[in-house]
Chains A and B, each alone.
Chain A
Amino acid sequence: MQRDYHDILWGGFLSLLGLAVAVYSATHYDIGNLRRMGPGFFPVSLGAVLALLGVVIAIPALWRAGETRSFAGRELLGIIVALLLFALLMNRVGIVVTAAAVSFVASAVAPRPGIVWRLVLAAVIAGLTWAVFIEALEMAIPVWPWSR
């Protein structure tokens, strides 16, 4: 039988997360009392509730058949790398180069291989970004590598 692994894993993860939030908040923030609740009151209670809900999600899933959904690992990786690339480049080389680089990297995980169409796409997106955000909306963001 194919178990509902998604729910088992997420239930377990949410449980641990809730527990971590509750413990961290309880040790770092004041809980206070009912009249003057401290900053810890909410995170501790919410963490405890989440830990409980995680168990409620995971336990029944152990005996339940679940759907399998294909995991788009390659696509996930490509998009995350593209986003991090934007964070890395934006303040250093400006929007035009960043937009081109990000689109080029993001398009690497597209189902169709090839370099040429991706280069063209990167150029088009960079141009479009420049036209919309810099020319039309006049945003004050770094445009070129030399414009700090």
Chain B
Amino acid sequence: MITHISRRGFSAAAIAIALTAATPVLAQEWPTGPLHVYVGFPAGSSPDTIARMIAEPLAEALGQPVVIENKPGAGGVIGVQQMLAQSDGHSFGVTINGPLTTAQRMIADIGYDAVTDIAPVSLIATTPLVLAVSSDFAADDAASFIEDAKARPGEISYGSVGQGSGAHLTAELFASEAGIELFHIPFQSYAEVTTSILGGEIDSGFMAPSAALPHVEAGKMKMLGVTSAEPFPQVPDVPVLAGQAGLPDNFRAELWDAFIAPAGTDPAIIERLNTEITAILGDKEIQEKLLAIGWKAEGGAPDLLAQRIVEDTELWGAVIDKTEAAAE
């Protein structure tokens, strides 16, 4: 879907872009026109909602409109590709971790390299997954779940949102760290996984806390643990999995959302954007809005995001290697 926040008065700005496109954009006069932020997910999805939350205060801070361009497809990869296809110094992206970490393993001709073609700007927010089971399931905590799984290897099933999805890889990471074997059943959406757990078709699933929460409150589901390093504010009572029942202390599996730029963007522009975004994320109101949709505001220097990309590419790459080896 194509929409944008404000269009009036664009024509003049558009001419300005056309005139300046040929010359390299200089940081001191930047931004000379509206910013285009490419989001690889449809309007109303959580990456889109987050991008829109940031876009408004960012437009105020920069004095130029910030236009959200939804280019959904291929798990967010299309959005990154579209951002890279522009070369006007005013095109950026908001993306989740997938297109920057695991996508290269999943899609053959992805057309970019997450390390050399992307200039990280800032981490925006993170969200963990929770291990959820039906309230009828015997285990009440992660330790007894793992014990149960050891007693009957390969019998406890879990749902994910597809091969190679965050939910699938998280479950495989969990299983390999805990030394257990779970039975994978792929679904198309968290909604389907939830219904299937409620209907007793499958036993468990790693899912977004906000997807499980209403059913937990209704007494139909239990959350056995959360994959973040620290308890997650949206579900403060759910214990972290790290360090439990033989899981390593540094066990952590989070989805994240970040602001990126094409490689070669003037470092001063990256610096400027990073400063503004960090300030926006420091706002209490934004933090609460993010938490309401299940995300924790993060922020931080560009290097932090760069490091995160490298770390997660390695972490999930190892998990993919293992599942591929197991499949053969």
Report A's interface with B, CB cutoff 8 A: 138-141, 143-144, 146-148
Contact = CB atoms under 8 A, between A and B. Distances in A.
B4 interface: yes
B2 A139 contact: yes
A140 B7 contact: yes
A140 B4 contact: yes
Per DSSP, chain B at the interface is mixed
B106 interface: no
Nearest to A147: B14
Nearest to A141: B2
B11 A144 contact: yes
Question: Which among B4, B21, B88 has the greatest number of chain A C-beta atoms within 10 A?
Answer: B4
A141 to B, nearest CB: 6
B318 interface: no
Contacts of A140: 2-4, 7, 67, 69
Interface string B4-17: 10010011001101
Count chain B CB atoms within 10 A of each CB in A144, A147, A148 and give the residue with the most: A148
Prevailing SS type, chain A contact patch: loop
Contact of A148 (B2, B3, B4, B88): B88
17 contacts: A138-B3, A139-B2, A140-B3, A140-B4, A140-B7, A140-B69, A141-B2, A143-B11, A144-B11, A144-B14, A146-B15, A147-B10, A147-B14, A147-B18, A148-B14, A148-B17, A148-B21
Contacts of B88: 148
Contacts of A139: 2-3
A37 to B, nearest CB: 12
Contacts of B21: 148
A98 to B, nearest CB: 15
A143 B88 CA distance: 18
Contacts of A147: 10-11, 14, 18
Contact of B18 (A138, A141, A143, A148): A148
